[in-house]
Amino acid sequence: MSTQLYQEIKEFYDASSNLWEGVWGEHMHHGYYGPDGNYKLDRRQAQIDLIEELLKWAGDFDKNPPQDILDVGCGIGGSSLYLAQKFGARVTGITLSPVQANRAKERARAAGLDAKTDFQVANALEMPFADNSFDFVWSLESGEHMPDKVKFLQECYRVLKPGGKLMLATWCHRPTTASTPLNREEEQHLQDIYRVYCLPYVVSLPTYTEIVEQCGFKDLRVDDWSTAVEPFWDVVIDSAITPQAIVGLFRAGRKTIEAAISLRLMSNGYRSGLIRFGIVAGTK
C-alpha cells in the first residue's frame, strides 16, 4: 500500500504544484482567520498569519530561536523559506515530489537563501538524517499523508535534539467514542477526501495526542483550530473558478481537476464538524 500511495502522492504534486503556485502562491496550506474565523483577510496574508500564530502558540521562539529546522512535507518551500528568513536558521525541507524539491531550490536561490536551505526528496517514515539533528521539527499539513502515524511521529522524535520542539498541524476527523463512532455517511465523506487528495486515512486529535505521548514527547500542547481556518476553503473555491485557474487545471490533468472540483468536500466537512484542524506541540 505504501509504495503505491507514495507514487500517487508524488504524481499528484508533480502534476499540480505549478498550478497551485500560480493560482494560490507558495504557501500550500490553510490560512488563519482569527480565533472565531471572522477576520477579513487576503488569503495569502491569512496563510502567513497561520505560520506566525502557530509559532506564537508553540513556544517563545523570539527569545530562543531555532537554528536547525526540519520542514516535513515542505511543498515548494513556502514555510521553509519563511522560517529561514525569520530566524536566520538553517532549514531542511523534505517532500516526495521531485518537482516540488526542485522548485523549492529555485525559489531559495531567487530569495538569496540557498546557503541556508536544503530540499530533498525523502520519505518522512524513513528520514535520511542522524539522531538528534534538529532543534525544531515543523510539519504543516503533511501528517494526513502519512500511512503510519506512529512511525511518522517516532521519526520526528528521533531526529530532534534533546530539548527540541515539534510543531504539528494536521487534518483530523472529529473525536469519537464507543457510543459516538463515525457513521456511514461520515465514513463515505472521508473516503472521498482520501481518494481525491491521496490520503491513506486521518485520525482524531485525541488519537494524535496519545501517539505523541507514547513517542516520548513532553510539555504537550494540543488544540483544535478548525473555526480559525474553516473560511479558507470558501476563499480557495472562489479562486478556483478564475480563467487562469481553469486553464491551469486542464494542463495539470485529470487528478488535479478532480481535486479542484472536490474542494467542497473539505468546506462541507468543516461545516458538519467531521473535519478538524488539529495542532500539537511537544518537546523531546
CB 144 within 8 A of CB 170: yes
The C-alpha atoms of residue 5 and residue 147 are separated, in whole angstroms, by 8
Question: CB neighbours (10 Å) of residue 213?
Answer: 15
Alpha-helical segments (H) within the chain = 2-24, 43-58, 78-87, 98-110, 149-159, 184-197, 205-215, 226-229, 232-239, 243-252, 254-261, 263-272
pLDDT given at position 25: 76
What range does the domain containing 122 cover? 2-175+182-283
The whole-angstrom distance between residue 93's C-alpha and the CA centroid of its chain comes to: 12
pLDDT number for residue 250: 47
User: Averaged over 17-31, what is the pLDDT?
Assistant: 80
pLDDT of residue 251: 57
Give pLDDT, residue 235.
Answer: 82
pLDDT of 63: 86
Residues in CB range of 46: below 8 A, 6 or more apart? 31, 32, 33, 39, 232, 235
Please name the amino acid found at residue 20: W
Q: How far, in Å, are 48, 59, 120, 159 from residue 53 at the CA level?
A: 9, 10, 27, 24
pLDDT digits 0-9 by tens, 141-189: 999 999 999 999 999 999 999 999 999 999 999 999 999 999 999 999 9
pLDDT in tens, 40-49: 998 889 999 9
pLDDT of residue 20: 74
Residue 181 exposed, middle or buried by CB count within 10 Å (0-12, 13-18, 19+): exposed
Of residues 174, 190, 171, 184, the one with CA closest to residue 265: 190
pLDDT at 194 over 70: yes
Q: Work out the burial of residue 124: count CB atoms within 10 Å of its CB; fewer than 13 is exposed, 13-18 middle, 19 or more buried.
A: buried
Residue 214: count other Cβ atoms within 10 Å of its Cβ.
12
Per-residue pLDDT band for 3 (boundaries 50, 70, 90) equals confident
pTM as predicted:
0.92
pLDDT tens digit sequence for 236-283? 776 655 555 544 544 555 555 555 657 789 999 999 999 999 999 999
pLDDT digits (tens, 9 = 90+) for 67-117: 999 999 999 999 999 999 999 999 999 999 999 999 999 999 999 999 999
Predicted local distance difference test score (pLDDT) of residue 133: 98
User: Which residue carries 523549492 as its cell?
Assistant: 104
- CATH number (domain holding residue 224): 3.40.50.150
206-224 mean pLDDT: 98
Contacts of 239 (CB under 8 A, 6+ apart): 23, 24, 43, 245
Query: What angle (nearest 5°) sits at the alpha carbon of residue 139, between those of residues 208 and 76?
Result: 145
CA angle 149, 152, 80 (to 5 degrees): 120
Q: How many domains does the chain have?
A: 1
Residue 180, classed as helix, strand or coil, is coil
**Average of pLDDT values for 17-21?**
75
